Amino acid sequence: MSSSFQNEIPRARVNISLALETGGATQKKELPFKILVMGDFSHGQSEGSVKDRERINITSNNLEQVMENMSPTMNFSVPNRIKNDESEIKVELTASSFSSFHPEQVAYQIPEVSELLSMRNLLKDLKSNLLDNASLRKEVERVLNSEGDLSVLKDQLKGLIADYQAQAEEPAAE
């Protein structure tokens, strides 16, 4: 019977092995895969030439610490899909840990998306409060069914939105 399919090496995997002869017996030893990446990843913030810089050894045990020390940043612009116009959103992402790449952590670093996440969380809280609190649910239903109370609520919400937009535009005007 031929060797099992489990012994076959997939094409995408890199295996480096060494045939060692010890005491007349040949022993096949698999070597770990290591890679050296060289470059200027400081975006011009580091002084001196690349060849004079200290080599950083990264392992699975110290990856978090290295990322925290380096805190690499990425700066780019993306089309603004929130306003649905031709404008762009300037994005500056900092990766201080491996978890910085989780979608929610990336979203919190972009102010426009962070605001949407905050609104989503507030709506989730409102929904859970409506489900858990019968008196609140009845009061909300009463306001929604009353034309006068509903128009007052709409006016108050418009005022809150206008105040929020004015506050958001103040730092941009300075």
Task: Read off the pTM.
Answer: 0.61
pLDDT band at 28 (very low <50, low <70, confident <90, very high): confident
For residues 133 and 108, give the distance between their C-alpha atoms in angstroms, rounded to a whole number: 30
In the prediction, which pLDDT does 36 show?
79
The whole-angstrom separation of Cα 97 and Cα 34 is 22
Question: What pLDDT, on the 0 to 100 scale, is given for residue 2?
Answer: 55
Q: Which pLDDT does position 60 carry in this prediction?
A: 83
How far is the CA of 42 from the CAs of 48, 95, 100, 117, in angstroms? 11, 13, 18, 31
pLDDT recorded at residue 39: 72
**Higher-pLDDT residue of 62, 45:** 62
Choose the weakest-confidence range: 54-58, 113-117, 152-156.
54-58
| pLDDT given for residue 117 in this prediction | 92
